[in-house]
Each structure stands twice: as C-alpha cells, then as structure tokens.
Structure 1
Amino acid sequence: MIRLILAQASGAAPADWVLFFGHFHPLIVHLPIGFLLIAGLLELDRLTRRNSVSSHTITLILFWSAVSATMACIAGYMLSLGGGYEADTLNTHKWEGIGVAVFAWIAWAVKSENLDRIIPFAQVVYLPALGISLLLLLAAGHLGGNLTHGSDYLTQYMPPPLRTLAGVPPKAPVFKAEPITDVNQAMVYQQIVNPILQTRCVQCHNARKSKGGLRMDTPDMLQKGWEDGPVFVAGKATASELIKVCLLPEDDDHHMPPKGKTQLQEEQIALLTWWIDQGAPFNKKVSELKVNDAIRPVLASLTGGGPVEAGTAVAATSRTDGPAPMSPMLTMKVPAANPTVIEELRKAGLLVLPLSKEQNQLEVSAVNARNFNDTQAALLPKVSNQLVWLKLGDTDISDAALAQVAKLKNLQKLHLEQTNVTDAGLKQLKGLTNLEYLNLYGTAVTDAGLADLAALKNLKTVYLWQTRVTEQGLAALKKNRPDLDVIGGINEQEVAAFSKASLPETKEGEPKKN
C-alpha cells in the first residue's frame, strides 16, 4: 500500500481509491484530537490534585492517539494529492500533523515503560513529549481549518474589541453590489459579472484562500488565471474553463461551485457566458455590447424596471428566470386552477408557484422531486390552462412524459435538461405553439430533433449544451431559423475534448486531477 501511495507522489494522477480514502481524513483526524486531549487532562488532574489515575488507562489512550494520528497523516496525504490547496499552508500543516504522531508515539513509549529499557531516565521526556504533541495538535488543527475554510475562518466574526486585543486586522467590508437603475448604463463587469463572482466564487478564490492558484476577487487576478492557465477565453465562452466547470454534473469532482455550496443559477451562467462571448470586457457598459433576445430579459430583470436597448424593449420583472414578461401568455386571463388538482401536484413532490398575485398563471417545478416520472406526468394536463412555466430538469421522465407535456397549450417555458428525452419526444411538442424557451442540456437529442424545433415558430431560445447535436445540424437550424438563439451546442466529440481539457497534463503527458 505504501508503495502505491508513493507512486502517486511521482507525478501520476491520483487513483480514485486514493482520493476515496483521503476523504476520510476529516473524520479520522478527530480521533487523535480527542485521545490526546483526554490524556493531557488526565495527566493535569493527576499532577494538580494528586489523584491516582491508572497508568494503564493513560497508556491505552496514548497508544490509540498515536495510531489514529498516524492514520490521519496517511489519509491527509492522500487527500492532498487531489490538489486545490495553498502550498505553503498545506506543507506546514502536513509536518505539524507528522509531529503530532511522532511525539504521541514517544509519549506512549515512555508511559508504557518500553523506552526505559533502551534509554535510561526516559521518563523525563514524557511530559514534554505529551505537551509538544498537544501544542502541535492545536497548530495543525488551526491550519487545517484555514485550508478548508480560509485563513479568516476563526476571526471572520470576531468582535472589534477582541480583534484589537488579538492584533487582528479590522473585518473586511461585506461586498455590496451597486444597484442598477438603468441597465443600459450599467458597467458590465463591475455591476453584473463581479456580483456573481463575489457571491458564488470568491469564497474559495481570494487573497487568503486560492484553490488551484486561482483568485477571482479582482479583475487582475481573474485575468491571470489559475495554475494551469487562463480561466476564460475572450469571445469563446464554451472554450472557457469558467463556463465548463459550471456545466459539469454537480457530483463531478471538477464541478464548480463544489457540491454542497450555493450553485450558480441558470441566469447567472447565461450572464457570464454572454460577457465572455462579448470579449470579457472590464470597462464597458451594457449599451456598448451586443444584446440578443436570449439575454435581454435576464438583463431587464436586474433593474427595478425599464427597457433594455439594442432591440425590442423588455420590461423588467421581479423574477429572474423567465422569458419576456410582455408575452401574451403571462398577461392573458385564465381561470384559477382547481385547488384539489394543486394539492395532487404537491403530493407528487412538485412545487406549484403563482407567477403573480394578479394573474392565475402557474410555474410547476420538480426541483424537489427528482424521482418524478412518466406516470406522474399525467397530472400536468389538469392545469393545462394555467401552466406556463414547467421545470422537469434532472428527473426520471422520458419521451412518454412529453405526450402529456404536449397537452399544455399555454406552455411558454420548458426545462428538460439532463432527462432521458430524445428526438422521438421532441416530435410530440410540435403543437406547443406558444413555447418560447426550451432547455435540452445534457439530453440525447440529435440533428434530427432540431428539425422539429424549427417548426416551433415562437421559440426564441434553446439550450443545447452537451447534446448529440453536430455543427452541421446547428448550421441547418440557424439557416432555417436565423431568429433563434441557440446556446451551447457541444457535441459528443467536443464533450470528450472538453473533459480532457479540464484535466491538466503532467510532464509525462498523463492527465491529473485537481
């Protein structure tokens, strides 16, 4: 086993089993913390109150503290092979952890009288060894917290008086985005892009904690990129790491933000994509860039009201994830949905949300119902008059469910990303004459399915990231529908290249994980 671990240190990519056991480090590391603290408290009690504590008890505790500290060191080393940690802090943390294990073994050897047989007067080093192991434990624990949570984790919320006493610098001001009153005059990076980065990315990529050598807290650092190069290619969003990692499945090790962190919203990804496609400018206003129909409603939603220039004006809405609110589907008069039917939908795990207090239009979302399936889809037509936004992404539905979706005559927005739908399912959607937005990211749709999309005359935006669509198919679709905004369109070959590109090469040419 040790030979295999050392092989990983030679520059080869860490095997999955190495990272698997490495992820047990945060669990194992709590064992030596508990054992050593108990041993230290028992010895302190014995010295101060002269209480008789069984020598065998302390010896046993020290033995397991040494064993668990050693296991924590091995697991910690495995975890470090995955990369993404500040090098100097990691190196100091590593040696402090090794020191804890070494002095714990020394303390155990002396306490168990094994060392007395070899070294006379070995008992005199017992208390110093135990004390050093405890001090190193505190230091290693502090740096471990810094590696995981950032260097200011313990002091982030420290009150000002304590900061003064401890000599800690004043708390950094909380980031506040500049309000946008006129989106046309908004500075694209400063008022639109930077707030997204500050709230979703800077927590792990800042001056105190720069995973992968990447900082995103300033324009200069963002342009500098990470340890393997730039994070964006101006003018080419789909070739940019910044966008690629956001589009990976959430359980992928390279997905950003990491699983468990607050994820980027679809509209935020769209804004970042648009900014990069426009050349990633840091000093331009919205009015100086090209604004297409896909991004116009997203930009409009950033303001308290007002149209967006460079095309048909779009009024703002309090929601940020829908198409233009001027659509007749959002203002037409429809009867209220049957409360019994609403309850049925909710029992199936669906969220049923009104789009406004004044109208009866509904959004139905399966965000909390990942097991939603074709059979349950039969509930949807019961609100066919009211349902205008439907989110079935990342559920168990297939083409069979689209037979029910096709009955939703007022449907304007449809999410089918990362489902089992195919070209056969798209054929059933030809009757959705009011559909304006369709997300097919991560599905098995091919060029044949695009031909059916061309027949949806009101369709304005379609997402085709990581589908089986080819460049030829996209070209044909754009020729038939030049008014249609197609976002993405990465085919299988590009996905393979994309995945490979996201893994930097070692000197030997073998990809390694970060």
Structure 2
Amino acid sequence: MNNLILLQAPSSPSDWVLFFGHFHPVVVHLPIGFVIVAGILELGRLTNQLQISRQAMATIFFWSAISATVACVFGYLLSLGGGYDEELLDQHMWQGIGVAVFTWLAWFVKSERWGDMLPISQLFYLPALALTVIMLTLAGHYGGSLTHGSDYLTAYTPEPFRSIAGIPPREQEVAFKPITDLNQAQVYEQIIHPILQTRCVQCHNPKKSKADLRLDNPEMIKKGSEDGPIFVAGKADESKMIKVCLLPLEDDHHMPPKGKTQLTDGQVAILTWWINQGAPFDKKVADLTVTDDVKPALAALTTGTSGGTLAGSGPAPASPVLTMKLPAPDAKTVDELRKTGLLVLPLAKEQNQLEVSAVNARTFNDAQAALLPKLEQQIVWLKLGDTDITDATLVQVAKLKNLQKLHLEQTKVTDAGLKNLKDLPHLEYINLYGTQVSDAGLRELSGLKNLRTIYLWQTKVTDAGVAALKKAHPGVDVNMGLAEKTIAEFMKVDSLSAANDPSRTKN
C-alpha cells in the first residue's frame, strides 16, 4: 500500500538510525528560515533600508550552518531506510551539503574573529549567500520530489503556462464506472483497482515507487516489491499485502501509514477474498465463489437494482417502496443536487425512484443536505458514506419518507442524530460502519419495523446492544464486520512464519 515497507532483513539500519533520521523533516526547516531571514536582511542593507550589525548577521549564519549540518546528518540516516529514487536522492544530498558548506563560508566571512584574518574573504560573502539561496531552493525542490513524486511542483500547472513551459498535458483523474450489476462486474478493473487507486497508488506509481513497488497495473502488482511478491494467490493469510493492513496503526510497517486514508474493513475483506480466489485480473464476480463474509462489502459497491443480489445468495425480498408509483422528480432540483457532486440515478427504467450517492462528493456537508427534502418522495437509496455530514443532516434525511437504504459509514453521525430516523416507515438497510454510534443509538432504531440489515463495524455498539436489537427484531441481520478472530488468525500465521524464518527479524 502507500509507502509499503515489508519486514526488514537483518542488514537494515537499526531503530536508532531510523529514529534520528525521521527528525530530518523537522530540522531541515531551521536552515531554510535562517537563510531566508539572512537574505531579506542583506537585501535591506544593500538598498539602505536597514542597518544591521555584522555580528548579528554572523549569529544568524552560525545557527543556519549548525542546523544545516545536523539536517544533512539526519537526512543521511533517513536515506539508509531505502525506498527513494537514487538519482533524486543523490542530487538532494549534494545540494543539502552545498547549503551547509556555503552557510559556514558566509559565517566565516561575517565573523569578526575569523573574517578579518583574511580581508579578501569579504569578496566571497555575497556570492556565498546567493549560492546558498540557490542551493536551498534546489534542495527543497528535490526533497519535495522524493516525498511527493517528481512532478509534484508542476502537476497542477494550468494552461497556457503548461504549454509555454513545455509540460506534458495533465493526466485525467481516473473516473470509475459505477457498478450496476455486481455479478457481471470485472473483479480487478471495477473493484480491486479502484481500491488500490484511492488508497495505495499515490506512493506506488511510475513516478514514485516506494520499496520498488508499483500498484498501478496488473503486471507491476504481480512483480511485487524489492523484497518479492506481495501476495500468494489463494492464500491471503500468507500475503504481505494483507498482513501489513492488519498490523496496529502505530506499527512502522502498517499500510497505509498513519496519517494517510486507511482501508476500510470492507476493503480489506474484498482484497482478502480476491487473493483467496486466486487474485484473478480477468474474471467477473460471477466467475468466483462469493463467500458470506464478503457479500456485505461487495453489495455496498453497487448502484442500481440489479447490483444488490449476488449469485447464489438467494433473491432479496421485494420492498413495496421499489414498485410504488411516484411523481417524476423535478429536473431543476436534480440539477442542483448534481452540482454538489452527487450522483442522481434512477433505480429502474420507467420508474421515478432515485438513488443519490456521494461517492464522488466526499466534501458533501450539512448545508448542502438541505437540498435532499426537495426530492423527499423520490429518494429511495441514499449513500452519504465518508462525507462531512453530521447529525444535522439526519434532520433532513428524516423527511425522505420513502427511504429504504441509507449509507452513513465513516461520518460524524452519533446516537443523537439517529433519533431522527425512528419514524422512517420503509427503512430496511442502514450502514453505520466507523461511526461513534453506541447501544443508545441502536435503541433509537428499534422502532423501525422494516429494518432488515444494519452494519456496525468499528462502532461503540456492544454484544448486549446487538442482542437487545435482535430481541426487538428477530429477523434483522446485524453485521459487525471483519471478525477479530479472523484478524487474530492472520497475525498468528505471520508470527509463526517470522519465528520459522530467521531472515525476517525486526531490529
């Protein structure tokens, strides 16, 4: 995944080396600040706008030189961890060393103790300062390229400057085709690739391949990283691609790393299922065995009426709200919703039931949610997962009297907001994965007479709360996500493998 670093061999640098190396991004900003201040002050002196003593400038250059030297040392220690483009790293290193050398030279010239020993040294001062600024700019650029990719500075250059500078046309962002029929969906192209693209390719692409790993196309995925293959077809529990996702978030080897957007339980379940099915790149869902533990995650990807029933899962009970006669939606209102980034799609031809999805509108918020009640009769499926909504949006959702399916996963909704949903007569499905909902919120939903499915992965709901809900609704299907037992089995297998393989030790 992002910055995927697999378990290191004994030759890897020690934890002490990497510990100090990781301070490089912190220390490196000190010489930048000092040099900029020195440049501004010197410019003011040369234009007779400022008066500043020689000793003051010497002090600034002294601490600039000290911090630049420390930054060079920490940068070298950081580089020992590997995973960087060697050519960029080499250029960045020598430019950083150049900054340290020229700041020491500038300090020497400005120092009253040393500068006067060689009067001709004053001739080197302004050139040294100018070269320091130039080297600092170049070092910063290449440092950014190492971290964010070689085109990070020019990636968003607008026209006409792009053409004038001879920069190639900007690559179009990947647009994933909605899945309307899950059984006919291409497993890699429509399911696996979008997961990798949104969670992993940022750091594993042609321009930036951490650990020599690329995840942007099948050939590179099969090739693996500098340490070998990242998956074992048919054996997800032996695949590093899965193991690194299940490590604790604070673990250095956990992927995506802390601070990056994490894979959801559903996405991990899908990747696990894909590998266990042989990691095919050219098959449809219908060609594979869809296990019970992955059905909810796959079903959550669908758009349209045919996507919710998987082959072999049995027909879903028909809901009256899907067949009732409804007035046509107002075209102007539909356009308003689409302008916020929402997808507005009919569930079936010649019917006015709508699905509204925020899959491409992650910044959708409470203020924009005020538009939803304008289609209070037509909105039947509403997908607001992973957006910026809070409990305030549920006040608007409560007005959608024909709502049957509701996605609220990974949002800021709480128990208080769920109170607004207790009177929705047709609500059968609700996804609360990754929210702060607890047993109290679950009790608010006990009055939903038609509730059939509820997802509670990574919530505060307890077994007692689930038992109480099932007592009120014996037929409701409560899904708590990827079982802890399954994760424990992954970790157990990994621990046993490490114990039996001396080369897989961690410093």
TM-score, normalised relative to structure 2: 0.70
Find the counterpart in structure 1 of residue 227 from structure 2: 228
| 1: CA distance, partners of 2:287 / 2:225 | 29
| 2: CA distance, partners of 1:271 / 1:320 | 19
CA deviation map 1:325-357 (0-9, x unaligned): xxxxxxxxxxxxxxxxxxxx9877887785995
| 1: CA distance, partners of 2:428 / 2:180 | 28
Cα displacement (A) at 1:39 = 1.0
Contact 2:205–2:215 at 8 Å: present in 1 too?
Answer: yes
- Is 1:287 the counterpart of 2:281? The answer is no
Matched ranges for 1:375-390 at <5 A: 377=439, 381=443, 383-386=445-448, 389=454
Contact 1:302–1:320 at 8 Å: present in 2 too?
Answer: no
1:282 alignment partner, SS class: coil
Matched ranges for 1:106-505 at <5 A: 106-116=105-115, 119=118, 121-300=120-299, 301-306=301-306, 308=309, 310-313=311-314, 318=381, 354=421, 358-359=425-426, 365=432, 367=434, 369=436, 377=439, 381=443, 383-386=445-448, 389=454, 391=456, 393=458, 402-409=463-470, 434-435=476-477, 437-439=479-481, 441-442=483-484, 464-467=485-488, 489-490=489-490, 493-497=492-496
Cα displacement (A) at 1:108 = 0.4
| 1: CA distance, partners of 2:382 / 2:263 | 16
CA spacing shift, 1:511–1:94, aligned 2, 3 Å = farther
Aligned length: 409
| 2: CA distance, partners of 1:274 / 1:346 | 30
CA spacing shift, 1:263–1:353, aligned 2, 3 Å = farther
Find the counterpart in structure 2 of residue 472 from structure 1: none
Cα displacement (A) at 1:394 = 7.0
| 1: CA distance, partners of 2:194 / 2:69 | 43
Cα displacement (A) at 1:28 = 1.9
Contact 1:355–1:362 at 8 Å: present in 2 too?
Answer: no
Cα displacement (A) at 1:319 = 7.3
Contact 1:35–1:62 at 8 Å: present in 2 too?
Answer: yes
Cα displacement (A) at 1:299 = 3.2
CA spacing shift, 1:156–1:346, aligned 2, 3 Å = closer
Identity of aligned residues (%): 48
Contact 1:350–1:368 at 8 Å: present in 2 too?
Answer: no
| Residue type of the alignment partner of 1:389 | I
| 2: CA distance, partners of 1:350 / 1:18 | 49
| 2: CA distance, partners of 1:213 / 1:440 | 30
Contact 2:418–2:441 at 8 Å: present in 1 too?
Answer: no
1:121 alignment partner, SS class: helix
Contact 1:346–1:352 at 8 Å: present in 2 too?
Answer: no
Contact 1:298–1:321 at 8 Å: present in 2 too?
Answer: no
| 2: CA distance, partners of 1:511 / 1:353 | 53
| Residue type of the alignment partner of 1:158 | T
Find the counterpart in structure 1 of residue 505 from structure 2: 511
Cα displacement (A) at 1:212 = 1.2
Contact 1:12–1:510 at 8 Å: present in 2 too?
Answer: no
Cα displacement (A) at 1:133 = 1.4
| Residue type of the alignment partner of 1:359 | H
| 1: CA distance, partners of 2:417 / 2:252 | 29
CA spacing shift, 1:390–1:222, aligned 2, 3 Å = closer
Cα displacement (A) at 1:440 = 6.3
1:160 alignment partner, SS class: coil
| Residue type of the alignment partner of 1:74 | V
TM-score, normalised relative to structure 1: 0.69
CA deviation map 1:297-326 (0-9, x unaligned): 44344232215553134569957899xxxx
Contact 1:352–1:363 at 8 Å: present in 2 too?
Answer: no
| Residue type of the alignment partner of 1:465 | T
Find the counterpart in structure 1 of residue 337 from structure 2: none
Cα displacement (A) at 1:210 = 0.9
1:271 alignment partner, SS class: helix
Cα displacement (A) at 1:61 = 1.0
| 2: CA distance, partners of 1:34 / 1:110 | 20
| 2: CA distance, partners of 1:211 / 1:123 | 45
Find the counterpart in structure 1 of residue 73 from structure 2: 74
CA spacing shift, 1:88–1:42, aligned 2, 3 Å = same
Contact 1:352–1:365 at 8 Å: present in 2 too?
Answer: no
Cα displacement (A) at 1:190 = 1.3
2:454 alignment partner, SS class: strand
| 2: CA distance, partners of 1:280 / 1:312 | 22
CA deviation map 1:211-255 (0-9, x unaligned): 111111121111111110111111112211111112222222222
CA deviation map 1:3-43 (0-9, x unaligned): xxxxx9x934421x443443332222211111101112222
Contact 1:350–1:365 at 8 Å: present in 2 too?
Answer: no
Choose between structure 1 and 2 for higher RCO, CA contacts under 8 A separated by at least 6 residues.
2
Matched ranges for 1:35-114 at <5 A: 35-49=34-48, 51-114=50-113
| Residue type of the alignment partner of 1:241 | K
CA deviation map 1:468-497 (0-9, x unaligned): xxxxxxxxxxxxxxxxxxxxx43x642423
